[in-house]
Amino acid sequence: MNKIVVLDGFTANPGDISWNCFESLGHLKVYDRTPYEFVVERARGYRIAITNKTVFSREIIVALPGLKYIGVIATGYNVVDIDAAREYGVTVTNVPGYSTESVVQAVFAHLMNLTHRVAQHSESAKSGEWVNANDFCYWKGELVELAGKTFGLLGFGAIGQRVAAVASALGMKVICHSRTESKITAAGYEAVSLEELFARSDVLSLNCPLTNDNSGIVNFKHLKLMKSSAFLINTARGGLINEAELAEALNNGIIAGAGVDVLSTEPPKAGNPLLTAKNCYITPHLAWATLEARHRLLKIAYENVESFQRGEPINVVN
């Protein structure tokens, strides 16, 4: 019987989803979290390992000769040394597309919070300001209507395309910058240069993978091109942003606000400048984590393992 170990199951499944389907594939052991120094000890003797963020370096892969499969329960698979896995005959799979709708929803959750100041007004009301108000309503700063505004997208993959559709449904003009310019125009949107994207966007949403070319692309040089009324949304990767320079831009009114679900280091260090930046709202990398998305995540991860065992692996990344 195949032996399957899940090394960091808690984030994807803190107990509200069953692992039973995996038990039908072999002997199953689930750990909530596994520090790097315990990976070899816990994975030794297992043919199949499941990981979310637990790292499989070359050193670890070499130390586990019986390991034949690493299933990453995420879309990104940078936690695995892909070259080493290929060299030692270890199949690596990922789970693409499971969280698209949830991430799109998170983009607009951040945007609605920024434009109607939802969190700010909720705290104001609960603190007693509404109880003591002279009028039936009040608002603490400018509220923004999205219809007619320009929505800019950096990236036009599956998530970016869905974000564009929702922005269009809200009556916004969509402009995009991406390597796949033909897809943008074929979908009926305007393809623009990077500089034009920053300069024209009332809302700029980052929906692209992190690469060597775009690391820190949101920096002071580009932020200075933006409207002082503009909002920035990042549900992609924290490394796209130079966090110190974004904090400076927010604190000095270069742009109006930001909503970010990802930071360069997670969990962040206490001194991360965005944690104290003006009008910056941060969620702890939860855009993907709706119950529905996590059900899909485990279902596809199960199908990946089952297909591997049949000798017909799917979603292979190496």
Instruction: Identify the active-site residue in 86, 285, 303, 306.
Output: 285
Instruction: Identify the active-site residue in 59, 145, 266, 292.
Output: 266
Neighbours of 290 (CB within 10 A): 16
Phi, psi of 244 (to 5 degrees): -65, -40
* Gyration radius (Cα) of the chain, Å: 22
Q: What is the mean pLDDT of the segment spanning 280-287? A: 98
The label of the residue with tokens 């260090």 reads 269
Q: Give the mean pLDDT of the chain.
A: 97
What tens digit of pLDDT does each residue of 114-157 get? Answer: 999 999 999 999 999 999 999 999 999 999 999 999 999 999 99
What tens digit of pLDDT does each residue of 50-71 get? Answer: 999 999 999 999 999 999 999 9
Q: Which residues contact 309 (CB under 8 A, 6 or more apart)?
A: 2, 25
Assess whether 295 carries a catalytic annotation: no
DSSP class of residue 74 equals: S
- Fold identical between 3-98+291-309 and 100-282? yes
- CATH code linked to domain 3-98+291-309: 3.40.50.720
DSSP class of residue 56 equals: B
Quick one: pLDDT band at residue 182, thresholds 50, 70, 90?
A: very high
Residue 27 Ramachandran class (φ > 0 left, ψ -120 to 50 alpha, else beta):
beta
Please state the separation of Cα 76 from the chain's center in Å: 10
Distances (CA, A) of 59 to 37, 47, 84, 133, 270: 11, 17, 9, 64, 31
What tens digit of pLDDT does each residue of 11-43 get? Answer: 999 999 999 999 999 999 999 999 999 999 999
Assess whether 58 carries a catalytic annotation: no
The label of the residue with tokens 């922005």 reads 167
Assess whether 237 carries a catalytic annotation: yes
Q: Does the pLDDT at position 1 exceed 80?
A: no
DSSP class of residue 284 equals: -
Distances (CA, A) of 13 to 8, 31, 76, 127: 9, 11, 18, 35
What span, in angstroms and rounded, lies between the C-alpha atoms of 101 and 122?
Answer: 26
- Of the candidates 231, 232, 230, 104, the residue with the CA atom closest to the CA atom of residue 169: 104
What tens digit of pLDDT does each residue of 238-270 get? Answer: 999 999 999 999 999 999 999 999 999 999 999
What span, in angstroms and rounded, lies between the C-alpha atoms of 316 and 318?
Answer: 6
To the question of domain 100-282 being in CATH 3.30.1360.120, the answer is no
Strand order in the sheet with 27-30: 27-30, 3-6, 48-51, 69-72, 91-93
pLDDT at residue 2, rounded to an integer: 86
What span, in angstroms and rounded, lies between the C-alpha atoms of 128 and 119?
Answer: 15
CB burial readout 95-121, b (16+ within 10 A) else e: beebbbbbbbbbbbbbbebbbebeebb
Domain layout of the chain by residue ranges:
3-98+291-309, 100-282
52 by Cβ neighbours in 10 Å (0-12 / 13-18 / 19+) ranks as buried
Q: Does the pLDDT at position 107 exceed 90?
A: yes
Instruction: Identify the active-site residue in 237, 243, 245, 296.
Output: 237
The label of the residue with tokens 């809302």 reads 203
